[in-house]
Amino acid sequence: MLIKFTIDRFEEDKAVLIADSGAAVIWPKNKLPADIHEGSALSFKIEEAGEREKLDKQTAKDIINEIIKNS
């Protein structure tokens, strides 16, 4: 699931993110790119941990196969 946000404003060390649905999220400013500014668009990918583990395993296999192929 991909959720899109826009930086609405900064409040001290926090950023207020507004989702396309209108929901607001408070996010630590230091966990955002340094050059971010009000009005910047962000996307967050949300996925179940099991799906992430499956993707990580496939990525590891792909890397090992590439190393073996290029040896």
Domains of the chain listed by start with CATH number: 2-69 (2.40.50)
CA R_g for the chain:
18
pLDDT at 33 over 80: yes
Is the whole model's pTM more than 0.85, yes or no?
Answer: no
pLDDT, average across residues 46-68 = 87
Query: Which stretches does DSSP call E strand in 1-71?
Result: 2-11, 14-19, 24-28, 41-45
d(C-alpha 60, C-alpha 52), whole Å:
12
Q: Which of 10-14, 30-34, 48-52, 61-65 is predicted with the least confidence, judged by mean pLDDT?
A: 48-52
